[in-house]
Structure 1
């Protein structure tokens, strides 16, 4: 019986996160109410409050889900490059840009994330996902001698900031070839580090 309740709670949680994600992605956090989320998920407000402390807490779960998806795309792209750390680094960086330029991902992760949670909390969530992978990649590059010894943390913040800004711009521009142009500039910046 306890296993059934756990499964039901997980289904309810998943439904709330999925429906909130879809609504936040299309209209933004500020334009979506809890009543609309619970109706879309087919649950009651009581069920929502059993899972989350409120709308902001639900948004945290949505943001984590979005960032986990981006991180998974980065890792998959990097792992597909075999044992070449530079190829892994560049493939992962490009995968980040591609995944982050999805307008739904950009809105939740890069626009609403800092606005809803505040810069400090958003940054901590980002560092625990994509930021962690970036630091690990840079540490590997330094350890293998691809990059000269240097402090990795500041470099990770600089590159992460550049990639987040690029992703924000790419998510809203309709310029043909924008991704390729941004990627060429980012790759040139990264190549200068070698």
Structure 2
């Protein structure tokens, strides 16, 4: 029977292997795109065998799912951090939305989360993951604003979906754009949309 030290060491090795696979796969997916990356490239970069990969992930798509989840979580954390830098709930909403658009210009985020994510995982799966990250923060912000009387009382879910959809569409458009002036233009348009929701002061 394995000793406790052996069990702990094996668990640590499994964790390190999984972490290496996710890290190297993410770098390759970001650089070349999902379709152009092979399993052989991933295991070679991670310095493990295909058997080790299949021990943790049933397929390349399953590994990509984890990578997308990781990227979306990081985007959500950056959005939340930008919002939390402000005390005023309205400024929190605006800052969070602007942060989402800004981070969407990151080439790795564009390739993994915005371009390949919906195509590989399917829209429904991708959308469910989005709702668990950035969209959740948006919903929470809208609830706070409605309860404070800053936005008129209305059903939150359709409003959150409309705003989230607009920002995702803008982010996808920015991902295809090479004009540096497009981000300020989109941010300004978004600010006007948000301002239209605000109750008269």
CA deviations on 1:120-179 (whole Å, 9 max, x unpaired) are: 111111111111111111111111111101111111111111111111222221223211
C-alpha contact (below 8 Å) 1:19/1:40 kept by paired residues: yes
Q: Distance in 2 between matches of 1:170 and 1:179?
A: 7
Out of 88, 100, 113, the residue aligned to residue 104 of structure 2 is 100
**1:143 maps to 2:147:** yes
1:1-194 pair list within 5 angstroms: 1-82=6-87, 84-194=88-198
Deviation of 1:112 after TM superposition, in Å, equals 1.1
C-alpha contact (below 8 Å) 1:101/1:168 kept by paired residues: no
TM superposition score normalised by structure 1: 0.96
CA deviations on 1:12-42 (whole Å, 9 max, x unpaired) are: 1111111111111121111111110110111
Report the equivalent of 2:3: none
Report how many residues are paired: 193
Q: Distance in 2 between matches of 1:21 and 1:128?
A: 20
3-state DSSP of counterpart to 2:51: helix
3-state DSSP of counterpart to 1:101: coil
Q: Distance in 1 between matches of 2:73 and 2:188?
A: 26
Segment drifting more, 167-176 vs 154-163? 167-176
Which structure's CA Rg is the greater one?
2
CA deviations on 1:79-125 (whole Å, 9 max, x unpaired) are: 1112x111111111111111122121112111111111111111111
Q: Distance in 2 between matches of 1:43 and 1:168?
A: 35
Any runs of at least 4 consecutive aligned residues in structure 1 with deviations exceeding 3 A, and if so which?
A: none
Deviation of 1:77 after TM superposition, in Å, equals 0.5
Unaligned runs of 5+ in 1: none
